[in-house]
Amino acid sequence: MTFLATPEAAAPLNLSRRGLLGAAAGALVLGLGARPAASQATPAAEAMPNPFAALLELRADGTARLQMPFVEGGQGVSTALAQILGEELDLEPARLLLECAPPGARYKLPGAPRVTGGSSSVRTSIAPLRRLGATARAMLVEAAAIRLEVPAGSLTTEPGFVVHAASGRRIGYGELAEAASAQPVPAGVTLRDRDKFRWIGKPVARLDVRAKSTGKMVYGIDLAVEGMLQAAVQHAPRYGMEPAEIRNEAAVLALPGVHSLHRLPGAVAVVADRWWRAHRAAETLQVAWREAAPGAANAMPADFSTRALRDRQQAAPGPGITAETAGDASGALKGAARVVEASYDAPLLAHGQLEPPSALASWNAEAGTLELWVPNQAPDMYLPVVARAAGIAPEKVTLHSPPLGGFFGRHFLYEAASPFPQAIALTKATGRPVKVIWSREAEFLRDAFRPAALVRFRGGIDASGLPVALEAEIVCDHLLNRTFGAPADRHDRTVVEGIANKVYAFPNRRVAHVVQRSPAMVGFWRSVGHSYNDFFMECFLDELAEAGQTDPFALRQRLVEKSPRHQALLAAVAELSGGWKRGPFTAPDGSRRARGIALSSPFGTEVATIAEVSIQDGRARAHDVWVAIDPGSIVNPSTVVEQVQSAVAIGLSSALLEEVVYEHGTPRARNYDGYPILPPDQMPRVHVRIIESGAPMGGVGEPGVPGVPPAVVNAVFALTGQRIRSLPLSRARFGRVS
Amino acid sequence: MKRLTALLAILVVAGSGAWWFATRIPASPFDGAAPAAATPLERGEYVARLGDCVACHSTEHGAPFAGGLPMGTPLGTIFATNITPDRETGIGGYTLSQFDNAVRRGIGADGRRLYPAMPYPSYARMSDEDVRALYDYFQRHVQPVRQANQASHIPWPLNMRWPLAFWNLVFAPTRPYQAAPQRDAAWNRGAYLVEGAGHCGSCHTPRGLAMQEVALDSSDPRYLSGALLDGWYAPSLRGDPNSGLGRWSEEEIFAYLKRGRNRHSVVFGSMMEAFNNSTQFMTDDDLRGIARYLKSLPGDPARDGAPWQYDPATRTALASPATLAASPGARGYMARCGTCHGADGQGRGEWIPPLAGASSLLAPDAASAINITLNGAGRVVAGGVADAYRMPSLRNQINDREVAEILSFIRTAWGNRGGAVTEEQVAKLRSQTNPASSDVIVLQMR
Amino acid sequence: MDLIVNGVRHTVALEAEMPLLWAIRDELGLTGTKYGCGLAQCGACTVLVDGIAVRSCITPVESVAGQQITTIEAIGEDAVGRRVVEAWVAHQVPQCGYCQSGQVMAATSLLKQIAQPSEAEVAAAMTNLCRCGTYNAIAAAMRQAAQG
Ligand code: FES
Ligand code: FES
């Protein structure tokens, strides 16, 4: 048994003999994590249940399992991680089984948050994972050297084997696993040269597509355990309200399959043998809801409406909390040749992930332990909250993180917007495992929506038409405060991202966050603040171009003059689209069309987007979207293209269709009929060019989103002369274009 | 000069006579009656169910019978009143006579005439016993709620109420229902319920120029012959095979009123509300009486046309790529509607209604078809249990032209002959209506 | 009533109006068929009834008793279904994958009825929603499967 003593916990630990849960005997198990606090190799420690688990387990059958710190939800992280690890370990990615690890510091990668979000998984884990793979490979080689009685330096590997070229002998990793696990963990390993990569940077096929094409992938909503009951809930119409009288309790209890009724915070649950029976019974419940107690958390007033919210945002007094300043914005505005003022707004948005939320909880009263399966993007954030909800210590909780049927920010920790507290209460109340599924309607009532935002812009241009000053006051909730308790007297960087620190760097600028808490439950939504701010900023930039009588593309070229990376990006997207042409022009099918451009810098990646639109039946339609994306460097080009396709779809959906409307304190739409998401017949062709500029690796999952709404809206302006400053576009009516 | 004076005098006399008439409080059979023994709660509540008082006098989140429901009229919005026994804001101070005058004659305790949105021309048929039971119910069993009534949004001079007295003189009957001796008891009970408390004619009978129902009983062939109200076309309840109940058996009418569904249709629109709050609570005998009575009302072939026949050709056509390519309406149908209602237009059993032969698709007026397509259906609650299936709202997914194309297709498919729908019709209803709530709404009686 | 699912006859005692989806998922334990909306909006619940795509969430189980119901679990037993799956894998269609059982079933139904559908026919038949936006990959896979 050897542990490598590295205080920063950056190097692998050998955990092979710790009797890990799920680790096969004779496996080499390596972990990257904090070194154990207690002395490591005492017999007492040996006898104790292992306090560690491991990231990588190499099995006797030659396969390997990686307990990855992230959860797969369609973004392709499991394949990317398999490519990275396989590359250094020298094992076919397809031989790697990847699962989301349980919570625990031992699964945390050094330097990477244990959160699947912020488009961060690959870029934060590539370095430590490469080291992990290389370390395991070195130990296998050492073990083979002993077995073959040759110097380690005479050995090489090929996928899955250690090879002694001189004698033509080769030994499979599986055979070596046990012996390798006894080897000392090498202190330093050499990594593979970039130009020798076989999998990193290559379009390796994703590992899960077959299972997902044949219905074999098991999602949280599909899980079942012995003796399980199922539950559905009727939520209070508004947050904060609590169930009072249930008028038809006896009648509902008598419905087929119904096991029991439970009053929960803000909800009444029906537990039954089958979910649909529980669901129907829950819908049938006639609950009298008591108004929220004074001071109740998240209480939603009965008169809240999104229309009034927008008016209040418009009226919210500045100047707000400064997020970025340079020069003297107000002075420069006074001296500007022209000043343009505009206010833009974007609505609350639902996540609309296709898998409705669920949670399966199993309480063991004797042991005082809880096993919980819940879709989540952050097991370590969930764990203490789950434990608190169950009234037990975190060690008593086994938390599983199943693959996600879409997430887009839905499964961060929003305790009041997740079914797991209900599942915990119900398993404790019934003494049986209980799976709670939220109906689509229950989900639309309880999603944590993307906050609504409004910006007040003032921009000044000089006599040559170049913007010289920008003032932006973004009126929005404080997401970081509400979700993570960040100080509310400092600006929320997620609320200003996309406008603050923009590459254009106007010489005089002031960007501020006017904090205005809205009673709606809010959360992170794919590309977060960029999802609205890039729309605001890139459309307003087009307004400045219009005022200065410059072409919007040419203006952006001028504004990024000092950044070769952005110049290349603009050139790439122009070339990809066949050369910049704004239009309007007549397409081969006879329709009138125009194009719009947007530049955005989300999550460490640079993106330029061009969209081509026409107006059909008074509605905007996007035909083609060209995206040049520069994440610095990449792991899987086909995943990057797929993520851009996906991002364009959701970005366009938000531009054209999506809006959560509240009236009388409740969201009006409760299903996809009232809240349409992009259907297939509105999907544009998407053309992607990946640029690897060599800059530090940026994200991929979200960056394709924010450029789409402004590119589309700018194109609509070029085509119709109508400047849309409020999304979605479906609210606007467009006349015939000529 | 003399003649002028005489004319003036006549006018003054006539005018004051008219004024007296327009503000007088008529006699009630209950005038001076000694308070009778209270009727049992169930009896009074049952009459309130028959009259469906709750549907108008309660709101989803308000207290039972406290009023406040806005109702659109051609003159402006009016609000249903508080009919809880609160003495100040409700009807707690009403004597039985005053209550009777309000229910059966449309006259408030202060002599003010009620808008005939209150169906007193039908309630006039109610028996004295039923009115007394209703009075007892509201006075003794409904919780008093202090909630001031809201003024109507009808502008002057249309908001003057006294002319309604003349309206009543012409249009409102004054006698309770008189049994037809040549008919059996079930029929008479049905007639009493339909023409009286059930006030079916309020929706199903066409209205005249003065917004009056053109007929109030079975003696007139226009009675219950179908009408447009509030964005819904209430079909004929007569023997018309296409736009009415001609193809429905008595048993099927009974099932519809009892369970909200039968093989022809599922309740929707305003009928869903009438079912949710009223008809399903009626006794089987009463419902059979209604079915018997309705089946006795002859149809009008001149108006209704030749009886509908199922035409299987549509089904075949929908399977042909050529048809779909040529017809945007057929394409839209298959994409938006076919998955539930089927290429054969037959729906699924009693759960998803057929479109083939549905009265809303055979009737000349397309309002109901447009309305439910745009706004979807509210929730049917039968026997206290929420429905398993509901029609979604398509207003956010398809535009006016597409709705018109799809409905024009549906209204001419499978032998339907309702005819085409125009984009303008759809646009108009879109602007006047809202999507149905997907919440299960159960109005409470106490 | 009798349900014939993937060639196996099951005798079940269920409410007549229970949606087929929940009979399949909860009663028979076949969870490849997904619940997305319960309102005929998304298509995640698509199965075949006598070879035709049906949204099982709005199909009362009573109405398909005795008919041949095929779910994604049996997709490999159908020649067209196998071709569709291979095209899906070749074009790397699924992302989160949640909608894909329904997409594969809808595609299989179309290709069983029209071996070489036109673009317009594909568009008319493939209306299932995908929040991950895999629509272009689906269209490409459809082209391949149609040629197969
Ligand atoms: S779950 Fe059936 S269509 Fe969405
Ligand atoms: S692949 Fe995620 S919803 Fe379609």
Chain A residue with CA closest to C129: the answer is A679
Instruction: Indicate whether C104 and C131 sit together in one domain.
Output: yes
Q: What is the Å distance from ligand 1's center to A403 Cα?
A: 20
Q: Residue A465: pLDDT above 50?
A: yes
Residue with tokens 């033509």: A168
Stretch among A79-83, A124-128, B14-18, B249-253 having the lowest mean pLDDT? B14-18
Instruction: Indicate whether C70 and C95 sit together in one domain.
Output: no
Residues B255 and A163: their CA atoms lie apart, in Å, by 80
Q: Does C45 contact chain B (CB < 8 Å)?
A: no
Do residues B218 and B297 make contact, with C-beta atoms less than 8 angstroms apart?
yes
Percentage of residues in chain A with pLDDT exceeding 70? Answer: 93
The arithmetic mean of pLDDT across residues C36-43, rounded, is 97
Read off the tokens for A441.
């309607």
For residue A81, what are the domain limits?
2-204
Q: Residue B153: pLDDT above 70?
A: yes
Q: What is the Å distance from ligand 2's center to A89 Cα?
A: 32
Q: Matching CATH topology for B23-28+37-171 and B185-432?
A: yes
Residues A151 and B362: their CA atoms lie apart, in Å, by 91
Element (H, E) at A708: helix A708-720
Residue A31, pLDDT score: 55
Residue with tokens 């997904």: C34
Residues A447 and A357: their CA atoms lie apart, in Å, by 9
Read off the tokens for C116.
């070489």
Q: Does A624 contact chain B (CB < 8 Å)?
A: no
- Of A313, A354, A625, A612, the C-alpha closest to A456 is A313
Q: Residue A25: pLDDT above 50?
A: no
Stretch among A47-51, A110-114, B373-377 having the lowest mean pLDDT? A47-51
- Whether B321 sits inside 8 A of C118 (CB atoms) is yes
Q: Which chains pack against C, by 3+ Cβ pairs within 8 A?
A: A, B
Q: What is the Å distance from ligand 1's center to A258 Cα?
A: 24
Q: Which ligand is nearest to the CA of A407?
A: 2
Residue B427, pLDDT score: 96
Ligand 2 contact, A596 CB (< 6 A): no
Q: Residue B205: pLDDT above 50?
A: yes
Residue A29, pLDDT score: 63
Q: How far is CA C117 from CA A63, B352, C45, C108, in A?
A: 42, 30, 23, 12
CA angle B40, B42, B47 (to 5 degrees): 105
- Residues in chain A within 8 Å Cβ distance of C85: 210, 213-214
Domain final position from A169, A189, A204: A204
Instruction: Indicate whether C86 and C112 sit together in one domain.
Output: yes
Residue B201, pLDDT score: 96
Nearest beta carbon to residue A280 from set B388, B396, B399: B388
Q: Residue A364: pLDDT above 60?
A: yes
- Of A559, A553, A545, A605, the C-alpha closest to A579 is A553
pLDDT: which is higher, B320 or A532: A532
Instruction: Indicate whether C25 and C45 sit together in one domain.
Output: yes
User: How many domains is chain C partitioned into structurally?
Assistant: 2
Domain final position from C58, C74, C90: C74
The arithmetic mean of pLDDT across residues A80-85, rounded, is 93
Residues A156 and A178: their CA atoms lie apart, in Å, by 19
CA trace torsion A218, A220, A223, A229 (10° rounding)? -160
Residue A3, pLDDT score: 26
B64-115 per-position pLDDT tens digit: 999 999 887 777 888 999 999 999 999 999 999 999 999 999 988 888 888 8
**Residue B116 banded pLDDT, cuts 50, 70, 90:** confident
Name beta bridge partners: A476.
A453, A515
Residues B185-432: name the CATH superfamily. Answer: Cytochrome c-like domain (1.10.760.10)
B332 to chain C, closest Cα gap in Å: 8
Residue B267, pLDDT score: 97
Q: How far is CA B236 from CA B121, B240, B352, C44, in A?
A: 20, 7, 22, 40
- Whether B381 sits inside 8 A of A676 (CB atoms) is no
- Of B196, B201, B350, the C-alpha closest to B286 is B196
Read off the tokens for C40.
């005929």
Q: Which residues contact A590 (CB under 8 A, 6 or more apart)?
A: none
Q: Residue C59: pLDDT above 50?
A: yes
The arithmetic mean of pLDDT across residues A708-714, rounded, is 98
User: How many domains is chain A partitioned into structurally?
Assistant: 2
C82-137 per-position pLDDT tens digit: 999 999 999 999 999 999 999 999 999 999 999 999 888 898 889 999 999 999 99
Instruction: Indicate whether C91 and C123 sit together in one domain.
Output: yes
Lay out the sheet containing A12-14: strands in order across: A12-14, A28-32, A56-58, A64-68, A96-100
- Of A491, A576, A498, the C-alpha closest to A541 is A498
Stretch among A7-16, A430-439, B398-407, C105-114 having the lowest mean pLDDT? A7-16
Residue A722, pLDDT score: 96
Q: Residue B264: pLDDT above 90?
A: yes
Read off the tokens for B2.
């003399």
Identify whether A246 is part of a domain: no
B203 is in an annotated binding site: yes
Query: Within 10 A of C128 (CB to CB), how many other CB atoms are there?
Result: 28
B337 is in an annotated binding site: yes
- Of C14, B390, B385, C16, the C-alpha closest to A255 is B385
As a whole number of Å, the end-to-end CA separation of chain B is 65
Average pLDDT, chain A: 90
Domain final position from A183, A204, A225: A204
Residue B75, pLDDT score: 79
Residues A205 and A314: their CA atoms lie apart, in Å, by 49
- Residues in chain C within 8 Å Cβ distance of B352: 58, 60
Q: Does C39 contact chain B (CB < 8 Å)?
A: yes
Give how far the C-alpha of residue A194 lies from the chain's centroid of Cα atoms, to the nearest Å: 28
Q: Residue A2: pLDDT above 60?
A: no
Instruction: Indicate whether C12 and C29 sit together in one domain.
Output: yes
Residue C110, pLDDT score: 95
Instruction: Indicate whether C99 and C41 sit together in one domain.
Output: no
A227 burial via Cβ count (<10 Å: 0-12, 13-18, 19+): exposed
> How many alpha carbons lie under 13 Å from residue B387 in its C-beta half-sphere?
28
Give ipTM to 2 decimals. Answer: 0.93
Which CATH number belongs to the domain containing residue C22 in this structure? Answer: 3.10.20.30
Do residues A641 and A691 make contact, with C-beta atoms less than 8 angstroms apart?
no
The arithmetic mean of pLDDT across residues A497-508, rounded, is 95
Residue with tokens 């397809």: A94
Residue B214, pLDDT score: 92
- Whether A673 sits inside 8 A of B396 (CB atoms) is yes
Residues A694 and A632: their CA atoms lie apart, in Å, by 5
Name beta bridge partners: A339.
A460
Cα Rg of chain C, angstroms: 15
Q: Does B325 contact chain C (CB < 8 Å)?
A: yes
Name beta bridge partners: C68.
C4
Residue A43, pLDDT score: 31
Domain final position from C20, C52, C74: C74
A613-647 per-position pLDDT tens digit: 999 988 999 999 999 999 999 999 999 999 999 99
Per-residue 3-state assignment (H helix, E strand, C coil) for B274-318 = HHHHCHHHCCHHHHHHHHHHHHCCCCCHHHHCCCCCCCCHHHHHH
Instruction: Indicate whether C53 and C114 sit together in one domain.
Output: no
Average pLDDT, chain B: 91
B399-415 per-position pLDDT tens digit: 999 999 999 999 999 99
- Of A465, A457, A478, the C-alpha closest to A528 is A478
**Residue A106 banded pLDDT, cuts 50, 70, 90:** confident
The arithmetic mean of pLDDT across residues C56-73, rounded, is 97
Q: What is the Å distance from ligand 1's center to A96 Cα?
A: 34
**Residue C148 banded pLDDT, cuts 50, 70, 90:** low
The arithmetic mean of pLDDT across residues A637-660, rounded, is 97
Q: Which CATH number fits domain B23-28+37-171: 1.10.3470, 1.10.760, 2.60.40, 1.10.1330?
A: 1.10.760
**A152 secondary structure, DSSP code:** G
Ligand 1 neighbours (beta carbon < 6 A): C 35-38, 40-45, 55, 57
Chain C residue with CA closest to A223: the answer is C31
Instruction: Indicate whether C33 and C90 sit together in one domain.
Output: no
Which CATH number belongs to the domain containing residue C89 in this structure? Answer: 1.10.150.120
Stretch among A269-278, B191-200, B326-335 having the lowest mean pLDDT? B326-335
- Of B400, B418, B399, B398, the C-alpha closest to B408 is B418
Q: Residue B8: pLDDT above 80?
A: no
Q: Which ligand is nearest to the CA of A351?
A: 2
Residues C96 and A217: their CA atoms lie apart, in Å, by 10
Domain final position from C74, C104, C121: C74
Percentage of residues in chain C with pLDDT exceeding 90? Answer: 93
For residue C44, what are the domain limits?
2-74
Identify whether A335 is part of a domain: yes
Ligand 2 contact, C96 CB (< 6 A): yes
Stretch among A130-139, A178-187, A604-613 having the lowest mean pLDDT? A178-187
> Where do the structural domains in chain B lie, given as residue ranges?
23-28+37-171, 185-432
**A199 secondary structure, DSSP code:** S
Residues A96 and C148: their CA atoms lie apart, in Å, by 31
The arithmetic mean of pLDDT across residues A243-268, rounded, is 97
Q: How far is CA A220 from CA A351, A400, A440, B390, C118, in A?
A: 17, 9, 15, 27, 37
Q: Residue A184: pLDDT above 90?
A: no
